[in-house]
């Protein structure tokens, strides 16, 4: 018994530094942020406790917050449908043996290592209505098509998503590629011998065997979709007419532009709750798998 107690004490002592860092960097700041969100504060003066008024105002009276929340939901749907599908198809195509596959893998992954603000600058030039690559390409093929991509409320959000798709496609593609390469070749060969074509093997064997990979990809993509900030800030800063406002950009504006720290922190807490709704089921699922 004494040996067990001594061993437990030693284990706790080893865990103490990590726990101290976790408390000081994660737990205490989160709790303090929750407290700030219950106050009206400009970041300098004295806090005024107002309870849940910030949250009530966000969901009942703040139209820009509703736009930001709607845009984040649209972004999540686009990410789950478009990004996941394109990444899976690319990974499946690049898993085969052909000349130059290493080059193409690197080429599709390369945008992931570019800073998001640099991606925003690149695509701002591509979307330029006068000298941009997209409009100029349309003119080269004889079309008179021209679009102010970032100044049109109906098109700007999807234009930003396209830029984000180009920049972030490599990460889920690599995860899917790793999962596909982990599938036993014998299973695929057996299905081929039984007469299953490439499409049938893809839907009946590859996708079901990528269940764990799908969980990781979907969880990481949804969290990233909730936190999207840099690409929006660099391309439109939430405009035009707040049509591309996101929760993160609106939180930034409330906190640092308008010095409404209580409201900005309340938005951050709402984002935290949404992320927990994604992360906690993911952790429970992976724990069951173990």
HEC letters along the chain: CHHHHHHHHHHHHHHHHHHHHHHHHHHHHHHHHHHHHCEECCCCCCCEECCCHHHHHHHHCCHHHHHHHHHHHHHHHHHHHHHHHHHHHHHHHHCCCCCCHHHHHHHHHHHHHCCHHHHHHHHHHHCCCCCCHHHHHHHHCCCCCCCCCCCCHHHHHHHHHHHHHHHHCHHHHHHHHHHHHCCCHHHHHHHHHCCCCHHHHHHHHHHHHCHHHHHHHHHHHHHHHHCCCHHHHHHCCCCCCCCCCCHHHHHHHHHHHCCCHHHHHHHHHHHHHHHHHHHHHHHHHHHHHC
- Enumerate residues 6+ apart whose C-beta is below 8 A from 155: 147, 149
Q: Which pLDDT does position 177 carry in this prediction?
A: 93
Q: What is the pLDDT along the chain (290 residues), one digit of tens a residue?
A: 555 666 577 878 888 888 999 899 889 999 999 999 999 998 888 899 999 999 999 999 999 999 999 999 999 999 999 999 999 999 999 988 888 888 888 899 999 999 888 999 999 999 988 888 888 887 787 776 677 888 888 889 999 999 999 999 999 999 999 999 888 888 877 887 877 778 888 888 888 888 888 888 988 899 899 999 999 999 999 988 899 999 999 999 999 999 999 999 999 999 999 888 887 887 777 666 55
Question: Can you tell me the distance from the alpha carbon of 35 to that of 280, in angstroms, rounded to the nearest whole number?
Answer: 23
**Global pTM value:** 0.88
Q: Which pLDDT does position 4 carry in this prediction?
A: 62
- The neighbour count for residue 212, using CB atoms within 10 Å, is 13
- 49 pairs with which residues across the strands? 39
Output the CA angle 12-13-14, nearest 5 degrees: 90
Q: Which pLDDT does position 168 carry in this prediction?
A: 92
Output the CA angle 150-151-153, nearest 5 degrees: 95
Q: Which pLDDT does position 47 carry in this prediction?
A: 92
HEC letters along 76-141: HHHHHHHHHHHHHHHHHHHCCCCCCHHHHHHHHHHHHHCCHHHHHHHHHHHCCCCCCHHHHHHHHC
Mean pLDDT of the chain: 88
Question: Can you tell me the distance from the alpha carbon of 276 to that of 270, in angstroms, rounded to the nearest whole number?
Answer: 10
Q: Which pLDDT does position 193 carry in this prediction?
A: 80
Interstrand relation of 48-49 and 39-40 (parallel, antiparallel or unpaired)? antiparallel
Delineate the domains of the chain, giving CATH numbers in brackets.
Answer: 1-37 (no CATH), 51-119+157-289 (1.10.3720.10)
């Amino acid at each position: 018994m004494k040996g067990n107690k001594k061993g437990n004490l030693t284990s706790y002592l080893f865990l103490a530094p990590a726990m101290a860092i976790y408390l000081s960097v994660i737990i205490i700041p989160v709790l303090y942020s929750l407290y700030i969100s219950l106050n009206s504060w400009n970041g300098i003066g004295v806090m005024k406790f107002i309870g849940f008024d910030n949250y009530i105002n966000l969901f009942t009276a703040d139209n820009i917050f509703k736009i930001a929340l709607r845009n984040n939901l649209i972004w999540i749907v686009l990410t789950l449908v478009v990004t996941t599908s394109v990444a899976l198809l690319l990974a499946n195509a690049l898993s085969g043996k052909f000349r130059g596959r290493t080059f193409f893998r690197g080429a599709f992954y390369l945008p992931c290592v570019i800073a998001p603000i640099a991606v925003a600058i690149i695509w701002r030039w591509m979307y330029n209505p006068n000298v941009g690559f997209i409009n100029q390409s349309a003119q080269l093929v004889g079309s008179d098509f021209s679009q102010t991509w970032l100044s049109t409320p109906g098109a700007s959000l999807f234009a930003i998503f396209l830029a984000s798709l180009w920049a972030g496609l490599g990460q889920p593609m690599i995860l899917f590629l790793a999962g596909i390469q982990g599938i036993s070749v014998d299973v695929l060969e057996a299905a081929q011998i039984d007469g299953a074509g490439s499409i049938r093997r893809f839907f009946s064997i590859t996708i079901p065997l990528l269940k764990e990979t799908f969980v990781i990809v979907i969880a990481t993509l949804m969290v990233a979709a909730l936190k999207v900030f840099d690409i929006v800030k660099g391309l439109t800063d939430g405009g035009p007419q707040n049509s591309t406002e996101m929760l993160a950009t609106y939180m930034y504006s409330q906190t640092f532009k308008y010095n409404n720290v209580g409201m900005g922190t309340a938005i951050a807490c709402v984002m935290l709750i949404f992320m927990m709704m994604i992360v906690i089921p993911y952790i429970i699922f992976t724990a069951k798998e173990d």
